[in-house]
């Protein structure tokens, strides 16, 4: 029987994905960008964002020279915005410390913001042919099932064992095809539910299949009850314009433009007067929204307040008045974009 890695490489060449926009002779910049975008996001979702992003930022130099607002605007809707901020910071480091060239070693790649061990290894393998092991979610699933490894894969002890297993199966050559093959296999065949085992190149010695455990492996994340947080979002309307506020650089939606917020137990009209100095003369409650994060659920009660004309009309620092159509061109969180769409 051929080795595990040889079977993966053969399968990838015949059945793997070869037409993704960052494949071929696209160079390390596009590989790096794709790996960052693909963190916790599926390929089908990433592709249109990737294509729009490289139209605006075709290389490291252009990305490094851009404003953070512009980068976040082109990331808006993809989620996990710390990835965009780290990408921008990494581009600036590459421009200033590496003469605009993406480093090709694991240590140098990991020293850049937003690049962990697996992402660095993927860039090193796919862009530079370095023999490095990756361990993203798809690869974890393939290895867990093939070796019938018990335990939640993100648990430290289990993850350490998976790293050892991933490194032990690396090929001596064709590392890019192997790396892509492992990702492709997990994404298209060894899927989370209803895996297509008959199409798998390593099915013959897959322990989960032999033990009839494909449905129960990998062991799922331990269930955790998410806390609920409640907030009011104010759509302050004055002469056809909405007020947007820049969020702090860290925390949820860091660096994005959002709507003014008030605690859920404060009267919106009173809060508007006290916090923002604007006098509303009409109020309209809108349907509530719910948005889930990794660690909590956010319950949003939007309130539209029609204001008496403001004097002066200049916005305070960290704020801007825009028409709804212009606001939608800004870097906005998804639920805020949903709310503003109602006024276009």
Question: Do 79 and 339 meet the contact criterion of CB atoms below 8 Å apart?
Answer: no
pTM: 0.86
Co-location of 169 and 272 in the same domain: no
Task: Report in angstroms the alpha-carbon separations of 342 from 30, 207, 236, 260, 325.
Answer: 36, 52, 14, 17, 10
Same domain (yes/no): 243, 329: yes
pLDDT mean over 124-143: 96
Helix-, strand-, coil-residue percentages of the chain, each rounded to 5: 45, 15, 40
The answer to which of 117-126, 170-179, 272-281, 303-312 has the lowest mean pLDDT is: 303-312
pLDDT at 175: 97
pLDDT of residue 165: 98
Residue 271 lies in a domain: yes
Decide if 99 is catalytic.
no
142 found inside a domain = no
Evaluate if residue 3 carries a pLDDT over 70.
Answer: yes
Please state the rounded mean pLDDT for residues 272-295. 89
In a domain, 140, yes or no: no
Confidence check: pLDDT of 260 > 60: yes
Total domains, the chain: 2
| CATH number of the domain where residue 330 is located | 3.90.79.10
Q: Same domain for 118 and 13?
A: yes
Mean pLDDT of 311-333: 84
Q: Clarify whether residues 164 and 264 are in a common domain.
A: no
Statement to judge: residues 99 and 9 lie in one domain = yes
- Confidence band (pLDDT; 50, 70, 90) for 313? low
Q: Are residues 23 and 121 in the same domain?
A: yes
Q: Which comes out higher in pLDDT, residue 251 or 299?
A: 299
| Any domain includes 282 | yes
What integer pLDDT is reported at residue 312 of this predicted model? 57
Same domain, 43 and 112: yes
Mean pLDDT (the chain) is 93
Q: 47-61, 92-106, 228-242, 302-316: which range is least confident on average? A: 302-316
Same-domain pairing of 21 and 167 = yes
Pair (306, 233) in one structural domain: yes
The reply to whether 146 falls in a domain is: no
How far is the first Cα of the chain from the last one, in angstroms, to the nearest whole number?
62
What's the mean pLDDT in 41-63? 96
Same-domain status, 232 and 164: no
Residues 164 and 243 occupy one common structural domain? no
Peptide bond into 218 cis (omega under 30): yes
**pLDDT score of 311:** 57
Q: Is residue 252 part of a domain?
A: yes
Q: 310 pLDDT exceeds 90?
A: no
The Cα–Cα gap between 19 and 22 comes to 8
Q: Domain residues for 258?
A: 228-341
CATH number of the domain enclosing 126: 1.10.340.30
- The answer as to whether 39 is a domain residue is yes
Do 48 and 173 lie in one domain? The reply is yes
- Residue 193 resides in a domain: no
Kind of pairing between the strands at 319-322 and 280-285 = unpaired
Q: What is the mean pLDDT of residues 23-49?
A: 92
Kind plus residue range of the DSSP H or E element containing 95:
helix 82-97
H helical segments located in 116-263? 117-128, 137-147, 156-168, 175-188, 207-210
Task: Give the pLDDT score at 270.
Answer: 93
């Amino acid at each position: 029987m051929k080795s595990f890695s040889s079977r993966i490489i053969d399968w990838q060449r015949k059945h793997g994905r070869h037409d993704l926009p960052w494949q071929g002779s696209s160079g390390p910049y596009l590989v790096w960008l794709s790996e960052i975008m693909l963190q916790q996001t599926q390929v089908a979702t990433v592709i249109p964002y990737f294509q729009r992003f490289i139209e605006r930022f075709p290389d490291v130099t252009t990305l490094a020279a851009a404003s953070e607002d512009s980068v976040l605007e082109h990331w808006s809707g993809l989620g996990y915005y710390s990835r965009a901020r780290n990408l921008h910071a990494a581009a600036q480091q590459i421009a200033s410390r590496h003469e605009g060239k993406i480093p090709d070693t694991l240590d140098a790649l990991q020293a850049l913001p937003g690049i962990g061990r697996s992402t660095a290894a993927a860039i090193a393998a796919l862009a530079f042919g370095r023999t490095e092991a990756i361990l993203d979610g798809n690869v974890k699933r393939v290895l867990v099932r093939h070796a019938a490894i018990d335990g939640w894969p993100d648990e430290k002890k289990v993850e350490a064992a998976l790293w050892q297993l991933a490194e032990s199966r690396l090929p001596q050559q064709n590392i890019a095809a192997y790396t892509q093959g492992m990702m492709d296999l997990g994404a298209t065949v060894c899927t989370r539910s209803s895996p297509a085992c008959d199409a798998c190149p390593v099915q013959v010695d897959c322990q989960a299949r032999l033990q009839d455990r494909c449905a129960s492996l990998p062991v799922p994340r331990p269930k955790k009850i998410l806390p609920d947080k409640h907030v009011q979002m104010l759509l302050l309307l004055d002469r056809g314009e909405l007020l947007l506020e820049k969020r702090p650089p860290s925390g949820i939606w860091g660096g994005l433009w959002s709507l003014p917020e008030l605690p859920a137990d404060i009267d919106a009209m009173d809060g508007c007067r006290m916090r923002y100095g604007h006098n509303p003369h009409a109020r309209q409650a809108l349907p509530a929204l719910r948005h889930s994060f990794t660690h909590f659920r956010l319950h949003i009660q939007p309130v539209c307040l029609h204001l008496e004309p403001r004097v002066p009309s200049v916005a305070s620092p960290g704020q801007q008045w825009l028409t709804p159509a212009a606001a939608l061109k800004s870097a906005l969180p998804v639920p805020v974009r949903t709310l503003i769409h109602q006024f276009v």
